[in-house]
Amino acid sequence: LVFLLLGVGMVGIGLDLGIQATVALAWIQQLGSGMTIPVLIGWSLRELPARFRGRGMGWWASAFFLGQFVSPIFVSLTNSVSGGLLNTFIVAGVLCIAIAVGNALVSRRAP
């Protein structure tokens, strides 16, 4: 759900459908964005045994901050390839929607 909200919002922002639609779609994207960290932390803690949670969350925090470092590089490279910032939003949104679909398919196979 988080990736679907992010993806729909980003694709909508990238399509530049007008100020009212963009604000509504940005709200949807930010709803997903606000859910991201609590959902990822909850998922990580659920999967780790209690004795490894401190170490696991240290690795999680390291990966999170590495992602913040890599994000502008991804945006700059995608911007140069896609032809503009709005197209970069569309690429990132499609990637998020693909992750959402992939997660849905994998979760159906899991017992």
Could you tell me the mean pLDDT of each successive run of 10 residues in the chain, 111 residues long?
A: 95 94 95 90 85 89 92 94 93 96 85 64
User: Are the C-beta atoms of 9 and 26 separated by less than 8 Å?
Assistant: yes
Cα–Cα dist 52/80, whole Å: 41
pTM, entire model: 0.81
pLDDT of amino acid 111: 64
pLDDT one-digit tens code per residue, 12-43 = 999 999 999 999 999 999 999 999 888 888 88
pLDDT of amino acid 110: 60
pLDDT of amino acid 46: 86
Tokens of 60: 């999680």
Q: What is the DSSP string of 60-108?
A: HHHHHHHHHHHHHHHHHHHHHHHTSHHHHHHHHHHHHHHHHHHHHHHHH
Cα–Cα dist 30/50, whole Å: 31
